Amino acid sequence: MVDTNRLNGSPTAPQAIPLRLTYILADAVAPPPYVQYILAHPRIRRAYRIVKRVEPFTAEFPALPEGTLEVAGRTDVGLLREHNEDSFLFGILDSGEIRTENDGGVLRAEATPSLLMVADGVGGAASGEVASDLATRVSFDHLRERREKGGLKGAINIADSLQQAVLAANKSIYDYSKANRTHHGMGTTATIGLVVGGMVYFAQVGDSRAYIIRGGNARQMTKDQSLVQRMVDAGKLTPEQAEKSEHRNIILQALGPEATIVPEFTRDRLQHNDVILLCSDGLSNQMGPQEIASLAVGENLEGLCSTLIDRALETGAPDNVTVVVGRYTIPITH
């Protein structure tokens, strides 16, 4: 089930990819040549490039009281799949308290570093589930260890810790698949939100997504590592065409299938009543940012998770649907 494609374009165009890439429909990653291309890109060699110019709590991000984060999550197998290969995890790095797809309820983190994560497994029922579960747990454990060693102080250290957590998760899945041949080639997307010091740092591999809902609008904070997104960047497709493309499920990276990955990073300063939303493509393929934002108005967190998933199912969601939402509030001072 391998489809070999070439992205055409001028060799001098910034978005041109002068490589022959291999895509595995619906569940796939690009082979090492694509990774080598990304590594050669001068702007994304290291995570600290997202923060090197200005540290938080300066003129760019004025100091504000650190807030409270409340988080809930839910997942559904969808209308066509026999198995749910999605996993999610959110937890408090200090105490180690976590919630996963096997738990319910809202987790409350009072001014303490916290993690939110969604992973969409690929590679078949058991393999996809193993990969996504490994990704969430290894990422959380690694960041908790970095927290204990003081690795979450300062924007550069935080970004580097997040990068190392993603790389550790990739290595864990890759090594597991090598040692267990029945899971050969398994992988998973990974979208992580790390909340620390009034900031949220996002890491992205694959095409699950993160949004910040603020002022009635949902702003996408991650960029899909997918074929159609690459074509949009290259001017070959419009965003509207990409949403309807039969190739929209072809991803260029995932954790696990290759020894080397290149996560992408973004960050933002959190504001009072911001909602952080992470989801698998089972949700984002069924509704746009504006509908997501409109459904978030006035909902409690568990109700919002249910509303979003129910709406995805109403629109015919064929894939697993997973959503994690967190509301950030800042104490009002007089």
Q: For residue range 99-149, what is the model confidence (pLDDT) as tens digits? A: 999 998 999 999 999 999 999 998 765 799 999 999 999 999 999 999 999
| Residues 85 and 76 sit within 8 Å (Cβ to Cβ) | no
Question: pTM of the full predicted structure?
Answer: 0.82
Question: Chunked in runs of 10, what are the mean pLDDT values of the chain (334 residues)?
Answer: 30 34 35 46 45 40 73 97 95 97 94 97 83 98 96 91 96 95 93 96 97 96 92 87 82 93 94 97 95 91 97 96 97 70
| Residues 75 and 83 sit within 8 Å (Cβ to Cβ) | no
Provide the pLDDT for residue 51.
44
Q: Give φ, ψ of 330 to 5 degrees.
A: -110, 130
User: With the CA atoms of 48, 158, 145 and 281 taken in that order, what torsion angle do they form, in degrees rounded to the nearest 10?
Assistant: -90
Instruction: Give the separation between CA 276 and CA 315, rounded to whole angstroms.
Output: 23
Instruction: Give the separation between CA 298 and CA 294, rounded to whole angstroms.
Output: 9
Strands, sheet with 209-214, edge to edge from the N-terminal-most edge strand: 107-110, 68-76, 321-329, 274-279, 209-214, 217-220
Tokens of 77: 């197998």
CATH numbers and ranges of domains, the chain: 2-6+18-329 (3.60.40.10)
Q: For residue range 49-76, what is the model confidence (pLDDT) as tens digits? A: 444 433 443 334 545 568 999 999 999 9
Give the helix ranges, DSSP H, for 207-315.
227-233, 239-244, 281-284, 289-295, 301-314
| Strand bridging mode 114-122 / 187-188 | antiparallel
Q: Give φ, ψ of 83 to 5 degrees.
A: -130, 150
